[in-house]
Amino acid sequence: MASDTAAASELSTEDGVRRRDWIHIAALGTAGVGGASVLFPLVSQMAPSRDVLAASSTEVDVSAIQPGQSIKTTFRKQPLFVKRLSPEEIARAKADDGANMRDPATLADRTKAGHEDILVTMGVCTHLGCVPLGAAEGENKGEFGGYFCPCHGSHYDVAGRIRKGPAPLNLKVPEYSFKSDAVIRVG
Amino acid sequence: MSIRLGGILFGLAITAVLVLWSLLPGAYNYAFGPAPEKQPSYAFYEHGEGPEAGFSFDGAFGKWDYAQLQRGYQVYKEVCSACHSLKFVAFRNLQELGYTEAEVDAEAASWTVPGIDPATGETTTRPGEPTDYFPMPFPNSIAAAAANNNAIPPDLSLMTKARHDGSNYVYSLLTGYGEPDPEKAAKVGFETPPGLYFNKHFPNVNIAMAPPLAVDGQVTYADGTNATIPQMATDVAAFLTWTAEPSLIQRKQTGWFVIGFLLFATVLAFLSYKQIWAGIKPKKG
Amino acid sequence: MSFAWAKQYEPQTAFTKWLDEKLPFPRLVYNAVGAGYPVPRNLNYMWNFGVLAGFCLMIQIVTGVVLAMHYAANAQVAFGTVEHIMRNVNYGWMLRYAHANGASFFFIVIYMHIFRGLFYSSYKAPREMIWLLGVVIFLLMMATAFMGYVLPWGQMSFWGAQVITGLFSAIPLVGEPLQVWLLGGFAPDNAALNRFFSLHFLMPFVIAGVVILHIWALHIPGSSNPTGVEVKQESDTVPFHPYYTAKDGFGLGVFLILFTTMVFFLPNYLGHPDNYIEANPLSTPAHIVPEWYFWPFYAILRAFTGDLSIPFTGIVLIPAKLLGVIAMFGSILLWFFLPWLDKSPVRSGHYRPMFRKFFWFGLIPTMIALFICGGAPAEEPYVVISQIATAYYFLHFLVILPIVSQVEVPKPLPFSITEAVVGKDKPGGTSGGGAIDAGSVVEGLPGTATDGSLQPAE
């Protein structure tokens, strides 16, 4: 019985770190490390899974697109605009290359050498992700003759550069390459 | 009190029912009745043990043998894929077998997968891409049944997990074809039904699948391994183990790490527990 | 909570003082599983399983919620989404195997917890309500586990759903329509799969609610203990924290080692290969078995092979199918009556020689036999063995237990827990102990105890 009360009183005293306290600290610390490492798979499982990450690629036949026309297709579940610029549009874009822009870029930066009439951009407004108008016939192309996002009024020019409105960046140009003069491979 | 009385009566009633109406006749039949008839085919079944050398991925420290997996993939591609799908596996997964990205692209392109003509929207075929899944050999189950004497070839993605001791089962099945012992067969009047094949490692010994691995050298291995039937069976069994559980090796390796950590933590917890109880632990008197 | 010497929560900082006034949650934890809960000092390792069961419930809820983020309850794609989890989702295989094996370990833990209660008669007054709530939790767990097993939509999932809902078709008159209603169709399909998913997601939270009631009910009389003698004095108890938190921490470590060994090295050992074959309504697997934790009850279901009829007339009173269903549900429902079937004033099996013999040489072998028969094919000798075992199962609880509790002469109980632990050393600072010759006292039920040793509940 005496040992009982001794143990109880020893436990209730708070006279600094006792010599053998380290074992409790080590045990609790290890348990904490274990608990924290369990969080890793639980958080990681919400990141894109392997089938989503597997870089999907899209091939687009651009030969049928007439100058001044665009087509809408999809790339990684998002809209993709492919536009064949008319000579007037090319001239207009080049004329604006030096204009005061929020996200300065030249037409040459945004197209492939030798194919500067083919403009490939994501159809996702860089403001809050709506799909801009202007890819289909008869849609509002905005004040700069390119794309216009109706959600919050962002105007993109013929080269897909942001010229007016809240969007911070130009329409994104995805990675792509020409497999031939007629076919591009996006992704 | 009444609950107990009711309980006793109910318990006796249930026991009486069991004893009177099932147990006694059942026990009598078991003791004195005729032995249950077994199908004669049971006499020919032999449990398959798998390849003699075992598999490299067996055991808690097992590892994939990537050359073997690639050979097994070749056997699947050249032999099994004519009838069996592999629908949960994508070409991109082949990279885990040690192929480079370019090799996977080329391998994917060597398969023909269903596609849609972008101009007309009609169904067509195209070369596979890494993101495509292995194509189905038959458009639907009716076509599969019609082409295979009414036996639908099962999907192989999960085969080694869908059978008891699956890796060894696949090996044994592929090497278990032959003829029943003629003397024994004549004695019990056993005959393999027409259209089926005798296989001593198939549960009812009559299998609808014709021997898929018929001759040595049926496939020509790129790495020069001698393609005997047991070799091909081992390789494809290993490949199908991978398709069923691609995370097998990662799982075991993670397991060692986790268990090591837990052992350490548990020892600490034990010491901590013992120390907390040290002053209060009873001295047996 | 219930003992006068229980430590009181004293908030130390200004913030905890403020919190204690507004929402005394730390006080609740302190009194429930902290230093404010005095627990008998002599608990053995069998008393670890309650905390472990709570931990299992947490594992299942966390991994389950995560799996539900990737799963789709549609008969067309359910099997494929499970494979998607296994192959594509980051650590998906680990989470799914943890969930599948977590269910098995939950049942292992809960069976240990139940059979500890049966051996030490933890169901007796004043703890009947804890036991009744525990049986409710067990029934909810069985329903949850069954519905969860349907979700991967493999062959065993599909045919399990078919067979188990088929049990309800045995009920006279309403049976067939009831089965159709349960399935939302004439065979398991989208409707059944979707409602099972919904309920499988809901039920664990219902279980968690009942667990809170279970723990609440526990804190009224306090924990039982291996001697079955009620707590009399402060020296009989130690505070839950740090004594039992440390012990449970160690127990948890051992549990996790066993659990992770299964998850990482034998994840499919407790499952059935047929469930890796996609559901096929046109082909039944050769040998349908439920998950292992249902085997004893499945054996009772199958033990009834003959109709109950009037001899020589052919008039069937109760068909075999209905008898089996009644017996299976009855085998668990009778646990609700245990506190009143066993009236022995002694709780612990250690002091009940006759009860102990029937427990170790009757009930336990019976449960093992039922377990083996439930997993075996429905052929001899398993049918006869399951019939004998089923008969004994009901005899044990309904006939033997009440009679034994009347006729048996219990062994002498220790006067108190302290005496049982440290010997006959006179407990210091308490009265009453010395007057009675310790060792010869058979403790009555707490309600009838004359020395007033049980402190009134708060």
CB pairs under 8 A between B and C: 171
B269–C380: do the CB atoms touch at under 8 Å? Answer: no
Among A1, A45, A52, select the one facing C91 at the smallest CB separation. Answer: A45
Give Cα C280 distance to the centre of its chain. 33
User: How would you class B214 by CB atoms within 10 Å of its CB: exposed for 0-12, middle for 13-18, buried for 19 or more?
Assistant: exposed
Note whether C439 contacts B: Cβ–Cβ < 8 A: no
Cα end-to-end distance, chain B, whole Å: 41
Predicted confidence (pLDDT) per residue in A14-54, tens digit: 445 555 688 999 999 999 999 999 999 999 999 999 888 88
**Contact (CB, 8 A) for C368 and C386:** no
Note whether A35 contacts B: Cβ–Cβ < 8 A: no
Residues C245 and C128 in one domain: yes
Residues A24 and A67 in one domain: no
Number of domains in chain B: 1
**Contact (CB, 8 A) for C446 and C454:** yes
C228: distance to nearest CA of chain B, Å? 18
φ and ψ at A10, to 5 degrees? -65, -40
B211/B193 Cα distance (integer angstroms): 15
Radius of gyration, alpha carbons of chain B: 28
What CATH number does residue C100 fall under? 1.20.810.10
Residue C81 included in any domain:
yes
* DSSP element (H, E) containing C23: none
Tell me, letter by letter, the H, E, C secondary structure of chain B.
CHHHHHHHHHHHHHHHHHHHHHHHHHHHHHHHCCCCCCCHHHHHCCCCCCCCCCCCCCCCCCCCCHHHHHHHHHHHHHCHHHCCCCCCCEHHHHHHHCCCHHHHHHHHHCCEEEEECCCCCCEEEEECCCCCECCCCCCCHHHHHHHCCCCCCCCCCCHHHHCCCHHHHHHHHHHCECCCCHHHHHHHCCCCCCCCEEECCCCCCEECCCCCCCCCCCCCCCCCCCCCHHHHHHHHHHHHHHHHCCCHHHHHHHHHHHHHHHHHHHHHHHHHHHHHHCCCCCCCC
A41–C94: do the CB atoms touch at under 8 Å? Answer: yes
Residue B111 included in any domain:
no
A7–B278: do the CB atoms touch at under 8 Å? Answer: yes
What CATH number does residue B210 fall under? 1.10.760.10
SS3 content of chain C, % helix, strand, coil (to 5): 60, 5, 35
Residues of chain B neighbouring C343 (CB-CB closer than 8 A): 4
Residue B264 included in any domain:
no
B269: distance to nearest CA of chain C, Å? 5
Residues A69 and A122 in one domain: yes
Residues A6 and A84 in one domain: no
Q: Which of C262, C277, C292 is the last residue of a domain?
A: C277
Residues of chain C neighbouring B29 (CB-CB closer than 8 A): 380
Note whether B276 contacts A: Cβ–Cβ < 8 A: yes
Residues A115 and A155 in one domain: yes
* pLDDT of A65 above 50: yes
C80/C280 Cα distance (integer angstroms): 14
What is the full per-residue pLDDT of chain C (458 aa) written as tens digits? 468 889 999 999 999 999 999 999 999 999 999 999 999 999 999 999 999 999 999 999 999 999 999 999 999 999 999 999 999 999 999 999 999 999 999 999 999 999 999 999 999 989 999 999 999 999 999 999 999 999 999 999 999 999 999 999 988 889 899 999 999 999 999 999 999 999 999 999 999 999 999 999 999 999 999 999 999 999 899 999 999 999 999 999 999 999 999 999 999 999 999 999 999 998 888 888 999 999 999 999 988 887 777 767 777 778 888 888 999 999 999 999 999 999 899 999 999 999 999 999 999 999 999 999 999 988 878 888 998 999 999 999 999 999 999 899 999 999 999 888 887 654 444 443 333 344 434 444 444 343 334 433 43
For the stretch C183-218, what's the b/e string if a residue is b when 16 or more beta carbons lie within 10 angstroms of its beta carbon? beeeebbeebbbebbeebbebbeebeebbeebeebb
Residue B161 included in any domain:
yes
Cα end-to-end distance, chain A, whole Å: 77
Identify the active-site residue in C104, C121, C157, C223. C223
Residues C353 and C272 in one domain: no
C105/C255 Cα distance (integer angstroms): 9
Average pLDDT for residues B206-232, to the nearest whole number? 92
Pairwise pLDDT comparison (C170 vs B25), residue with the higher score? C170
**Contact (CB, 8 A) for B80 and B263:** no
Q: Please report the pLDDT score of residue A10 as a whole number.
A: 46
Residues A67 and A132 in one domain: yes
C266 secondary structure, DSSP code: -
What CATH number does residue A169 fall under? 2.102.10.10
Residues A176 and A114 in one domain: yes
A72: distance to nearest CA of chain C, Å? 29
AA identity, residue C22: K
B284/C125 Cα distance (integer angstroms): 30
Residue C197 included in any domain:
yes
Note whether B40 contacts A: Cβ–Cβ < 8 A: no
Query: Which chain B residue is nearest to residue A32, measuring alpha carbons?
Result: B265
Range of the structural domain that residue C351 is part of: 342-422
Range of the structural domain that residue B146 is part of: 42-89+134-246
Residue B197 included in any domain:
yes
Give Cα A81 distance to the centre of its chain. 16
Query: Which chain C residue is nearest to residue A8, measuring alpha carbons?
Result: C238
Among C260, C387, C422, select the one facing B258 at the smallest CB separation. Answer: C260
Residues C363 and C269 in one domain: no
Q: Please report the pLDDT score of residue B281 as a whole number.
A: 61
**Contact (CB, 8 A) for C313 and C370:** no
Q: Which residue has the tokens 């075996």?
A: C376
The pTM (predicted TM-score) of the whole model is 0.89
Tell which residue, C329, C394, C407, C339, has the closest CA to residue C362: C394
Note whether A1 contacts B: Cβ–Cβ < 8 A: no
Residue B140 included in any domain:
yes
C88–A41: do the CB atoms touch at under 8 Å? Answer: no
Beta strands A154-157 and A162-164 are antiparallel
Residue C430 included in any domain:
no
Number of domains in chain A: 2
* pLDDT of A5 above 50: no
Range of the structural domain that residue A24 is part of: 2-44
* pLDDT of B236 above 60: yes
Q: Please report the pLDDT score of residue A68 as a whole number.
A: 87
A88/A159 Cα distance (integer angstroms): 12
Residues of chain B neighbouring A6 (CB-CB closer than 8 A): 279
Dihedral of alpha carbons B122, B127, B129, B134, sign: positive
* DSSP element (H, E) containing A92: helix A87-95
Predicted confidence (pLDDT) per residue in B102-119, tens digit: 999 999 999 999 988 877
φ and ψ at A162, to 5 degrees? -70, 130
Tell which residue, C297, C324, C123, has the closest CA to residue C224: C123
B161/B258 Cα distance (integer angstroms): 24
Residues A94 and A27 in one domain: no
* pLDDT of A98 above 90: no
B281/A7 Cα distance (integer angstroms): 10
**Contact (CB, 8 A) for C217 and C130:** yes
Number of domains in chain C: 2
* pLDDT of B11 above 90: no
Tell me the two tokens of residue C317. 């009173």
Tell me the two tokens of residue B164. 């008891």
Residues C354 and C237 in one domain: no
* pLDDT of B21 above 80: no
C269/A98 Cα distance (integer angstroms): 69
B18–C391: do the CB atoms touch at under 8 Å? Answer: yes
**Contact (CB, 8 A) for C279 and C155:** yes
Residue C133 included in any domain:
yes
Residue C329 included in any domain:
no
Strands (E), A64-144: 70-75, 78-84, 118-122
C374/C295 Cα distance (integer angstroms): 4
Residues C272 and C385 in one domain: no
Residues A90 and A158 in one domain: yes
Q: Which of A10, A25, A44 is the last residue of a domain?
A: A44
Tell which residue, C100, C266, A50, A33, has the closest CA to residue B252: C266
Residue C298 included in any domain:
no
Among C93, C257, C264, select the one facing B263 at the smallest CB separation. Answer: C257
